A and B are shown apart, each in its own frame.
Chain A
Amino acid sequence: MKSRHLADQETADKWEVQLRKGCLELAILATLWEGKRYGLEILRRLESDSDLIVSEGTVYPLLSRLKSLGLIGSEWVESDAGHPRKYYALTPAGKQRGCEMAGMWARFSSSMAKLLAPLVRGK
Protein backbone atom coordinates (compact mmCIF):
# COMPACT_ATOMS: atom_id res chain seq x y z
CA MET A 1 0.00 0.00 0.00
CA LYS A 2 2.85 2.27 0.95
CA SER A 3 4.76 1.50 -2.28
CA ARG A 4 1.61 2.32 -4.28
CA HIS A 5 1.45 5.68 -2.53
CA LEU A 6 5.12 6.32 -3.34
CA ALA A 7 4.57 5.40 -7.01
CA ASP A 8 1.61 7.81 -7.20
CA GLN A 9 3.71 10.54 -5.61
CA GLU A 10 6.51 9.89 -8.10
CA THR A 11 4.07 10.14 -11.03
CA ALA A 12 2.72 13.43 -9.65
CA ASP A 13 6.27 14.76 -9.22
CA LYS A 14 7.19 13.85 -12.80
CA TRP A 15 4.06 15.57 -14.08
CA GLU A 16 4.95 18.71 -12.12
CA VAL A 17 8.51 18.68 -13.54
CA GLN A 18 7.16 18.40 -17.11
CA LEU A 19 4.72 21.22 -16.44
CA ARG A 20 7.51 23.51 -15.21
CA LYS A 21 9.81 22.66 -18.11
CA GLY A 22 7.09 23.51 -20.59
CA CYS A 23 6.91 27.12 -19.49
CA LEU A 24 10.64 27.84 -19.16
CA GLU A 25 10.87 29.69 -22.49
CA LEU A 26 7.99 31.99 -21.55
CA ALA A 27 9.46 32.53 -18.08
CA ILE A 28 12.81 33.62 -19.57
CA LEU A 29 11.10 36.07 -21.93
CA ALA A 30 9.14 37.39 -18.93
CA THR A 31 12.31 38.01 -16.89
CA LEU A 32 13.50 40.34 -19.67
CA TRP A 33 10.25 42.28 -19.95
CA GLU A 34 11.38 45.09 -17.64
CA GLY A 35 14.81 45.47 -19.17
CA LYS A 36 18.11 43.84 -19.99
CA ARG A 37 19.65 41.24 -17.70
CA TYR A 38 22.67 38.95 -17.78
CA GLY A 39 22.54 35.15 -17.41
CA LEU A 40 23.00 34.86 -13.66
CA GLU A 41 20.46 37.65 -13.05
CA ILE A 42 17.93 35.77 -15.16
CA LEU A 43 18.58 32.60 -13.16
CA ARG A 44 18.17 34.46 -9.86
CA ARG A 45 14.99 36.15 -11.04
CA LEU A 46 13.56 32.75 -12.02
CA GLU A 47 14.44 31.44 -8.57
CA SER A 48 13.05 34.39 -6.64
CA ASP A 49 9.88 35.15 -8.61
CA SER A 50 8.77 31.71 -9.71
CA ASP A 51 9.13 28.12 -8.65
CA LEU A 52 11.28 27.49 -11.70
CA ILE A 53 14.61 26.49 -10.26
CA VAL A 54 16.46 25.32 -13.33
CA SER A 55 20.03 24.22 -13.79
CA GLU A 56 22.51 26.77 -15.08
CA GLY A 57 23.51 24.43 -17.89
CA THR A 58 19.95 24.59 -19.20
CA VAL A 59 19.47 28.34 -19.25
CA TYR A 60 22.55 29.42 -21.23
CA PRO A 61 21.92 27.11 -24.24
CA LEU A 62 18.27 28.19 -24.19
CA LEU A 63 19.29 31.85 -24.24
CA SER A 64 21.51 31.03 -27.22
CA ARG A 65 18.53 29.40 -28.99
CA LEU A 66 16.22 32.36 -28.27
CA LYS A 67 18.89 34.63 -29.69
CA SER A 68 19.20 32.48 -32.85
CA LEU A 69 15.44 32.77 -33.26
CA GLY A 70 15.70 36.56 -33.05
CA LEU A 71 13.57 36.78 -29.91
CA ILE A 72 16.33 38.30 -27.81
CA GLY A 73 19.46 40.30 -28.56
CA SER A 74 22.67 40.60 -26.57
CA GLU A 75 25.47 43.01 -25.85
CA TRP A 76 28.63 42.91 -23.73
CA VAL A 77 28.78 45.48 -20.95
CA GLU A 78 31.75 46.21 -18.67
CA SER A 79 30.89 45.70 -15.00
CA ASP A 80 32.20 46.85 -11.62
CA ALA A 81 33.04 43.22 -10.88
CA GLY A 82 36.08 43.53 -13.15
CA HIS A 83 34.84 41.40 -16.03
CA PRO A 84 32.35 42.06 -18.85
CA ARG A 85 28.89 40.55 -18.73
CA LYS A 86 26.64 39.53 -21.60
CA TYR A 87 23.30 41.28 -21.24
CA TYR A 88 20.16 40.06 -22.98
CA ALA A 89 17.15 42.13 -24.01
CA LEU A 90 13.91 41.38 -25.81
CA THR A 91 13.75 42.25 -29.50
CA PRO A 92 10.44 43.52 -30.97
CA ALA A 93 9.78 39.93 -32.18
CA GLY A 94 10.54 38.65 -28.67
CA LYS A 95 8.12 41.14 -27.11
CA GLN A 96 5.43 40.06 -29.54
CA ARG A 97 6.08 36.35 -28.92
CA GLY A 98 6.11 36.95 -25.15
CA CYS A 99 2.75 38.75 -25.30
CA GLU A 100 1.23 35.99 -27.44
CA MET A 101 2.50 33.26 -25.11
CA ALA A 102 1.37 35.17 -22.01
CA GLY A 103 -2.10 35.62 -23.56
CA MET A 104 -2.33 31.90 -24.31
CA TRP A 105 -1.14 31.10 -20.80
CA ALA A 106 -3.73 33.44 -19.22
CA ARG A 107 -6.61 32.01 -21.28
CA PHE A 108 -5.54 28.44 -20.63
CA SER A 109 -4.98 28.88 -16.90
CA SER A 110 -8.26 30.79 -16.51
CA SER A 111 -10.29 28.03 -18.18
CA MET A 112 -8.41 25.34 -16.25
CA ALA A 113 -9.02 27.23 -12.99
CA LYS A 114 -12.78 27.03 -13.60
CA LEU A 115 -12.56 23.33 -14.32
CA LEU A 116 -10.33 22.63 -11.36
CA ALA A 117 -12.19 24.78 -8.83
CA PRO A 118 -14.20 21.85 -7.34
CA LEU A 119 -11.01 19.80 -6.96
CA VAL A 120 -9.20 22.66 -5.24
CA ARG A 121 -12.17 23.24 -2.88
CA GLY A 122 -12.33 19.54 -2.09
CA LYS A 123 -8.71 19.54 -0.93
Chain B
Amino acid sequence: MNIPEDAKQKTESYLAKLRAQLRGFDNQQVAEIVAELRSHIMDKLAIPGDAVSAAQVDAALAALGSPEELASQYITDNLLARAEVSRSLLPLLDGLFRWASLSVAGFFVLVGSVMGYFLGMVFILVAVLKLFHPQTAGLWLLHDSTGDPELSFRMGFGSSPPGSRDLLGWWIVPLGLLAGCALVTLTTRFALWCTRQYRRSRALPRT
Protein backbone atom coordinates (compact mmCIF):
# COMPACT_ATOMS: atom_id res chain seq x y z
CA MET B 1 0.00 0.00 0.00
CA ASN B 2 1.34 3.38 -1.01
CA ILE B 3 0.54 6.03 1.58
CA PRO B 4 1.76 9.56 0.84
CA GLU B 5 3.87 11.24 3.48
CA ASP B 6 1.31 13.98 4.17
CA ALA B 7 -1.40 11.36 4.71
CA LYS B 8 0.84 9.55 7.21
CA GLN B 9 1.50 12.83 8.98
CA LYS B 10 -2.23 13.58 9.13
CA THR B 11 -2.91 10.17 10.69
CA GLU B 12 -0.11 10.51 13.23
CA SER B 13 -1.21 14.05 14.10
CA TYR B 14 -4.75 12.76 14.74
CA LEU B 15 -3.44 9.93 16.91
CA ALA B 16 -1.13 12.29 18.82
CA LYS B 17 -4.07 14.57 19.64
CA LEU B 18 -6.11 11.58 20.77
CA ARG B 19 -3.20 10.29 22.89
CA ALA B 20 -2.95 13.69 24.64
CA GLN B 21 -6.68 13.62 25.50
CA LEU B 22 -6.80 10.07 26.86
CA ARG B 23 -6.40 11.02 30.51
CA GLY B 24 -7.10 8.43 33.14
CA PHE B 25 -5.70 5.51 31.15
CA ASP B 26 -2.29 4.08 31.93
CA ASN B 27 0.48 4.24 29.31
CA GLN B 28 -0.07 0.67 28.17
CA GLN B 29 -3.80 1.23 27.65
CA VAL B 30 -3.16 4.43 25.71
CA ALA B 31 -0.54 2.70 23.53
CA GLU B 32 -2.97 -0.14 22.83
CA ILE B 33 -5.87 2.19 21.93
CA VAL B 34 -3.65 4.20 19.59
CA ALA B 35 -2.18 1.05 17.99
CA GLU B 36 -5.65 -0.38 17.43
CA LEU B 37 -6.93 2.80 15.79
CA ARG B 38 -3.80 3.03 13.62
CA SER B 39 -4.44 -0.55 12.51
CA HIS B 40 -8.10 0.33 11.83
CA ILE B 41 -7.12 3.33 9.69
CA MET B 42 -4.63 1.19 7.72
CA ASP B 43 -7.39 -1.36 7.08
CA LYS B 44 -9.77 1.36 5.92
CA LEU B 45 -7.14 2.63 3.49
CA ALA B 46 -6.22 -0.81 2.17
CA ILE B 47 -7.46 -0.63 -1.42
CA PRO B 48 -5.43 -3.07 -3.55
CA GLY B 49 -3.42 -1.50 -6.34
CA ASP B 50 -4.46 2.05 -5.63
CA ALA B 51 -2.42 4.83 -4.11
CA VAL B 52 -4.12 6.35 -1.07
CA SER B 53 -5.42 9.86 -1.61
CA ALA B 54 -5.53 12.58 1.01
CA ALA B 55 -9.34 12.59 0.70
CA GLN B 56 -9.48 8.91 1.68
CA VAL B 57 -7.39 9.61 4.77
CA ASP B 58 -9.64 12.54 5.67
CA ALA B 59 -12.71 10.31 5.27
CA ALA B 60 -11.19 7.54 7.42
CA LEU B 61 -10.37 10.00 10.21
CA ALA B 62 -13.73 11.77 9.94
CA ALA B 63 -15.50 8.42 10.36
CA LEU B 64 -13.86 8.09 13.78
CA GLY B 65 -14.96 11.58 14.88
CA SER B 66 -12.71 14.31 16.20
CA PRO B 67 -9.92 13.25 18.62
CA GLU B 68 -11.73 15.14 21.42
CA GLU B 69 -15.04 13.36 20.73
CA LEU B 70 -13.39 9.98 20.48
CA ALA B 71 -11.39 10.53 23.69
CA SER B 72 -14.59 11.66 25.39
CA GLN B 73 -16.27 8.39 24.37
CA TYR B 74 -13.36 6.31 25.66
CA ILE B 75 -13.37 8.23 28.96
CA THR B 76 -17.14 7.93 29.55
CA ASP B 77 -17.14 4.23 28.61
CA ASN B 78 -14.21 3.69 30.96
CA LEU B 79 -16.06 5.61 33.68
CA LEU B 80 -19.15 3.40 33.27
CA ALA B 81 -17.05 0.22 33.35
CA ARG B 82 -15.23 1.35 36.51
CA ALA B 83 -18.50 2.33 38.18
CA GLU B 84 -19.94 -1.11 37.37
CA VAL B 85 -17.06 -3.02 38.96
CA SER B 86 -16.39 -0.68 41.90
CA ARG B 87 -18.70 1.03 44.41
CA SER B 88 -16.01 3.54 45.41
CA LEU B 89 -16.67 7.23 44.76
CA LEU B 90 -13.08 8.03 43.85
CA PRO B 91 -12.95 6.27 40.45
CA LEU B 92 -16.28 7.88 39.57
CA LEU B 93 -15.11 11.37 40.51
CA ASP B 94 -11.81 10.79 38.77
CA GLY B 95 -13.65 9.84 35.56
CA LEU B 96 -16.00 12.82 35.88
CA PHE B 97 -13.04 15.21 36.22
CA ARG B 98 -11.52 13.80 33.04
CA TRP B 99 -14.82 13.94 31.18
CA ALA B 100 -15.37 17.55 32.36
CA SER B 101 -12.04 18.56 30.87
CA LEU B 102 -13.29 17.48 27.43
CA SER B 103 -16.94 18.37 27.31
CA VAL B 104 -19.40 21.01 28.49
CA ALA B 105 -21.88 18.25 29.38
CA GLY B 106 -19.20 16.60 31.51
CA PHE B 107 -18.49 19.91 33.24
CA PHE B 108 -22.12 20.37 34.28
CA VAL B 109 -22.43 16.77 35.46
CA LEU B 110 -19.24 17.23 37.50
CA VAL B 111 -20.51 20.47 39.08
CA GLY B 112 -23.87 18.86 39.94
CA SER B 113 -22.17 15.76 41.34
CA VAL B 114 -19.66 17.70 43.44
CA MET B 115 -22.51 19.78 44.90
CA GLY B 116 -24.55 16.66 45.65
CA TYR B 117 -21.62 14.84 47.29
CA PHE B 118 -20.61 17.97 49.23
CA LEU B 119 -24.11 18.45 50.66
CA GLY B 120 -24.37 14.74 51.45
CA MET B 121 -21.03 14.80 53.25
CA VAL B 122 -22.06 17.93 55.23
CA PHE B 123 -25.22 16.14 56.45
CA ILE B 124 -23.17 13.12 57.53
CA LEU B 125 -20.43 15.22 59.14
CA VAL B 126 -22.88 17.33 61.14
CA ALA B 127 -24.69 14.18 62.30
CA VAL B 128 -21.41 12.68 63.53
CA LEU B 129 -20.15 15.93 65.12
CA LYS B 130 -23.42 16.30 67.03
CA LEU B 131 -22.25 13.38 69.17
CA PHE B 132 -19.12 15.30 70.17
CA HIS B 133 -20.61 18.84 70.33
CA PRO B 134 -24.19 18.26 71.45
CA GLN B 135 -24.81 21.90 72.42
CA THR B 136 -23.53 23.63 69.29
CA ALA B 137 -23.52 21.25 66.27
CA GLY B 138 -26.61 20.82 64.10
CA LEU B 139 -28.94 22.63 61.73
CA TRP B 140 -29.40 26.10 63.15
CA LEU B 141 -31.76 28.96 62.39
CA LEU B 142 -29.74 32.18 62.50
CA HIS B 143 -30.46 35.82 61.76
CA ASP B 144 -28.12 37.74 59.47
CA SER B 145 -27.08 41.39 59.95
CA THR B 146 -30.35 42.64 58.40
CA GLY B 147 -32.41 40.39 60.66
CA ASP B 148 -33.45 37.95 57.89
CA PRO B 149 -33.59 34.31 58.99
CA GLU B 150 -31.14 31.83 57.40
CA LEU B 151 -30.39 28.15 57.86
CA SER B 152 -26.86 27.07 58.71
CA PHE B 153 -25.13 23.76 59.27
CA ARG B 154 -22.90 24.24 62.32
CA MET B 155 -20.09 21.83 63.01
CA GLY B 156 -20.08 22.73 66.70
CA PHE B 157 -16.90 24.79 66.84
CA GLY B 158 -17.30 28.07 68.72
CA SER B 159 -20.35 29.26 70.59
CA SER B 160 -23.78 29.60 69.05
CA PRO B 161 -24.72 33.13 67.88
CA PRO B 162 -27.21 35.04 70.04
CA GLY B 163 -30.84 34.61 69.01
CA SER B 164 -30.13 31.42 67.07
CA ARG B 165 -31.96 28.14 67.50
CA ASP B 166 -31.04 24.48 66.96
CA LEU B 167 -33.89 23.29 64.73
CA LEU B 168 -33.55 19.51 64.92
CA GLY B 169 -31.72 18.79 68.18
CA TRP B 170 -30.73 15.12 68.42
CA TRP B 171 -32.88 14.32 65.38
CA ILE B 172 -30.01 15.63 63.24
CA VAL B 173 -28.15 12.36 63.97
CA PRO B 174 -30.55 9.88 62.31
CA LEU B 175 -31.96 12.41 59.84
CA GLY B 176 -28.50 13.71 58.86
CA LEU B 177 -27.11 10.22 58.32
CA LEU B 178 -30.19 9.22 56.33
CA ALA B 179 -30.25 12.39 54.21
CA GLY B 180 -26.46 12.28 53.69
CA CYS B 181 -26.42 8.64 52.54
CA ALA B 182 -29.48 9.26 50.33
CA LEU B 183 -27.82 12.30 48.72
CA VAL B 184 -24.57 10.42 48.04
CA THR B 185 -26.50 7.48 46.52
CA LEU B 186 -28.75 9.71 44.42
CA THR B 187 -25.80 11.78 43.22
CA THR B 188 -23.98 8.62 42.08
CA ARG B 189 -27.10 7.47 40.23
CA PHE B 190 -27.51 10.91 38.68
CA ALA B 191 -23.88 10.98 37.48
CA LEU B 192 -24.10 7.49 35.96
CA TRP B 193 -27.49 8.22 34.38
CA CYS B 194 -26.08 11.38 32.77
CA THR B 195 -23.03 9.46 31.56
CA ARG B 196 -25.21 6.76 29.97
CA GLN B 197 -27.46 9.36 28.35
CA TYR B 198 -24.40 11.13 26.97
CA ARG B 199 -22.98 7.89 25.61
CA ARG B 200 -26.29 7.01 23.98
CA SER B 201 -26.65 10.47 22.48
CA ARG B 202 -23.14 10.20 21.06
CA ALA B 203 -23.56 6.65 19.75
CA LEU B 204 -25.18 8.02 16.64
CA PRO B 205 -25.75 5.66 13.78
CA ARG B 206 -24.21 6.68 10.49
CA THR B 207 -26.85 7.87 8.07
Contact = CB atoms under 8 A, between A and B. Distances in A.
A55 B203 contact: yes
Contacts, number: 94
Contacts of A81: 1, 42-43, 46
A7 interface: no
A57 B205 CA distance: 10
> How many B residues touch the partner, as a band?
20 to 34
Contact of B205 (A54, A76, A82): A54
DSSP class of B's interface residues: helix, strand, loop or mixed?
helix
B206 interface: yes
B93 to A, nearest CB: 18
21 contacts: A17-B204, A22-B200, A39-B40, A55-B65, A56-B63, A56-B65, A57-B65, A57-B73, A61-B73, A61-B78, A64-B81, A65-B77, A65-B78, A68-B81, A81-B43, A81-B46, A83-B38, A83-B42, A84-B39, A85-B39, A85-B43
A67 B86 CA distance: 15
Contacts of B36: 39, 60, 86
A120 to B, nearest CB: 24
